[in-house]
A and B are shown apart, each in its own frame.
Chain A
């Protein structure tokens, strides 16, 4: 947007490409066609400073369920930023001091509790104060590199250079588990969002999730509130190439057996039936033309 760009005032200065969304970098050199597309890249999404929103849906949407999934920094870029594209102020949660908010004092004036809540969220507040914004308790969030999250695995689940987010769920999550009934069973700690594998064949699921075997069943799982989970993209390993666009959930704290619904057989994706070609009617033989009688002069 050249009209409001700092380059319009100071054309000889090198451009500051890290003005917004601390740490992430403006990618305006990718587009040389004059479209004015100037996007900031984050680990998970592209941020468009011209409209103040992300271009992709929040991969962490279930955490901040009351806001739009494209919102940037709780619609409050003065106080927050989101360099990972996951959570407001997700770059330095360790610097924040948690505060206990007494819900009974919310209307006493003075402290504007509602403004503090997006940053300083407590269980008491989440249960009793309606703010329209419900982020997670930042104390419960941890960011790991893929390499850290892969520690102990021979077949690494996450890409080495990815970001894996560990947090405690603030509401029940509805996910699915794909498994092989003859090999690993319906219960286990690795889950995905059903949407991310919709329409895939069992072979595709094995390849995209980089799992040991082709699944033959799928079961819904309701992960209870308060469960510690890790979320990150699927990396390549000895089981398959993986797919970094699919977010997988590693359930760290065990959940009750009742959370796992009875699995159903995994159906291969419907294929459009090919209509049989109707046989062509046999060509009736042409009757030979009788020779014309020669004209008698």
Chain B
């Protein structure tokens, strides 16, 4: 993914904000802005067990402000379910994971405000 704006760009594992580089463990799959925060979704390979793959990066400080917490192991899927989409809609930040759960998250702190099932 290589999304370019006048403030930031993302290439491979690296996020560049005004010449400041932040390198993540996995490839950046998607990023979106909300309230001067950049929300980063990492693409987790299918053979990796990792579900803390969403980060909030401050566009003003150019630093990582939060990382989503670890979710419970899902016995049905026999794996940790990583997030697969990040959606900003009407001021809400919604994260959806592979196993069909969604989390409404405070974009400034990463705190989970609400969670439920989706498909």
Q: Which residues of A contact B (CB under 8 A)?
A: 151-155, 157, 181-190, 209, 211-213, 239, 252-257
Contact, CB under 8 Å: A254 / B76? no
In chain A, what residue has the closest Cβ to B84?
A187
**Contact A184 to B96, CB < 8 A, known contacts A152-B74, A152-B75, A211-B119:** yes
What CA separation (Å) do A155 and B45 show in the bound complex? 29
Contact, CB under 8 Å: A252 / B76? yes
**Contact A188 to B76, CB < 8 A, known contacts A183-B94, A255-B46:** no
Beyond A185-B96, A257-B43, 15 additional pairs, beta carbon < 8 A? A154-B116, A181-B87, A183-B89, A185-B85, A188-B98, A188-B100, A189-B77, A211-B118, A212-B116, A212-B117, A212-B118, A212-B119, A213-B118, A252-B78, A253-B79
> Would you give the shortest CB distance from A263 to chain B, in whole angstroms?
12
List B contacts of A256 (CB < 8 A).
45-46
Count chain B residues whose beta carbon lies closer than 8 angstroms to a beta carbon of A: 25
Contact, CB under 8 Å: A190 / B119? yes
What CA separation (Å) do A182 and B96 show in the bound complex? 11
What are 24 pairs between A and B in contact, CB < 8 Å?
A151-B75, A151-B76, A153-B117, A154-B117, A157-B119, A182-B89, A183-B87, A183-B89, A184-B96, A184-B102, A184-B119, A185-B85, A187-B84, A187-B98, A188-B96, A188-B98, A190-B100, A190-B119, A209-B119, A212-B118, A212-B119, A253-B79, A254-B46, A257-B43
List B contacts of A189 (CB < 8 A).
77, 98-100
> Would you give the shortest CB distance from A8 to chain B, in whole angstroms?
52
List B contacts of A181 (CB < 8 A).
87
What CA separation (Å) do A209 and B46 show in the bound complex? 27
In chain A, what residue has the closest Cβ to B48?
A254
In chain A, what residue has the closest Cβ to B85?
A185
What CA separation (Å) do A122 and B52 show in the bound complex? 37
List B contacts of A190 (CB < 8 A).
100, 119
What CA separation (Å) do A254 and B116 show in the bound complex? 20
